[in-house]
A and B are shown apart, each in its own frame.
Chain A
Amino acid sequence: MHISFDKNEVLKGIDLSVKKGEVVSFIGPSGTGKTTLLKCINYLQKPNEGEIQLGDLNLDYKNIKKQDILRLRRKTAMVFQMFNIFKHKTVIQNVMDAQIAVQKKSKDEAYENSYRQLEKVGLIDKIDEYPSSLSGGQLQRVGIARGLALEPELILFDEPTSALDPELVEEVLRVIEEVAKSGMTTLLVTHEMDFARSISDKVVFMENGHIVEVGSPEQIFVGSENVRTRQFLKKFYSNQELQKMH
């Protein structure tokens, strides 16, 4: 995959290539455009200009057609910070609905596939529950199952654990780790530094709409020569120390 954006209000000249099966994490201060970047990829936000190449799909965002937007979205899946589970549907209906509506699968086929996905994320005992009776961690796992059920070529995680209570973060990270290790091309925006370091093939440090540094986890977290990257990580880890002391 190759994406590039230009002359955008939030993102200023992003250029990035990701290989199939690669796991790429985006770190950086809040308000830097990490989420915007992710949402530009599947056109939830409209970049002023830019190009994307995803598998056999080659698109120019400037004159993109409705049909292209749908094709792009059908190749990608997104997991949201606020989960965004459909509140009027049960857990399994949440996972099934897009397969029926978008992929035109039969009900039985969608049910079977959804059941398998929910089994993977450990929610078999919850399939007929409504979202209001689930915890944040469970909702996020439904979100992941819903995305994976469409067999996307690329999955986008937008701060998937930022809205969770601390004790629920772990269960979601374990599921994301499994997805990443399964060979799915994964882009992850996160503030969980240790997690990003352990699962990523590549880490991108962003600031003020720019990519400051791209490198292997070791390069970014241990051996970064970049002043901004080091400042950011130092600040992050000293904050974490402070929190531990309290």
Chain B
Amino acid sequence: MFDLKASYDMFLGILGLLPKTLLLAVTILILSTLLGIVIAIIQQYKIPVLIQLIGLFKLFLRGTPMVVFLYLMYYALPAMGQLIISLLGINYNMNNMSPVIILIVTVSLTLSAFQSEIIRGAFLAVDYGQIEAAHSLGYSFYQTFTRIIVPQAFVHAVPDFANSFTVAIKATSLGFLITVIDIFAKAKIMAAQNFRFVEAFLMVALIYWGAGILITKIADRYENDVRIK
């Protein structure tokens, strides 16, 4: 029933798409972090209008399955993009927009809400006494931020960022629905070719587990090295 040889071949086949999957996840992590910083700043300084928009956005995310969001973006994003660039007077056909971009945008938006909370928490974890000390020594606002607050906040955020990264890797599996081929999609295709579903999904699960363990280990080691000793 369980074919070892077929499993091995599938394992190698699926593994071939791991770099692409990781690249997708890294892109998503970077974009969602940048967006998360913007959201955190808006919330911290309570910027009117924008803060209400973010509240609405978070409400939408909480209530919407990511699959629904992804499909919505798949059909709506090219049309919206077309509208925007035609308003800017650029002649370009947005309907050719790659589904990879749609996947990246969707997952990044979803993850950005979580990233903003991680970032806020990390900044709040820096003890205020040190900020006072920096001020008393004559550091400017910017110097206090870059020399005292950010280095410590970053260390606080590392474990949560590693977690977000694994979330991003797993979320790319939804890309299959809009024709993006990642490791999960590859497993599904290979399974359909020779009807070895158990082998295919077991192998892809193994690869997800392996990647997850590796990321956690790397983050742990990094945290140990830079931890505020």
Residues of A within 8 A of B (CB): 42, 44, 70, 73-74, 76-78, 80, 82-88, 97-98, 101-102, 130-133, 143, 146-147, 150, 156
Contacts and interface: CB of A to CB of B under 8 A. Distances in A.
Interface string B194-229: 000000000000000000000000000000000011
B184 to A, nearest CB: 39
Given A78-B133, A101-B147, A87 B138 contact: no
A98 B137 contact: yes
Contacts of A88: 151-152, 155, 228
Interface in B49-102: none
A240 B103 CA distance: 70
B81 to A, nearest CB: 43
Contacts of A80: 129, 132-133, 136
Contacts of A78: 133, 136
Interface of B: 127, 129-130, 132-140, 143, 147-148, 151-152, 155, 228-229
Contacts, number: 67
Given A44-B132, A84-B130, A87-B130, A77 B155 contact: no
B130 A146 contact: no
B140 A70 contact: yes
A84 B129 contact: yes
A36 to B, nearest CB: 13
Contacts of B137: 73, 77, 98, 102, 146-147, 150
Name which of B129, B138, B228, B229 has the most chain A CB atoms within 10 A of its CB: B138
B131 to A, nearest CB: 9
A10 B155 CA distance: 37
Nearest to A83: B129
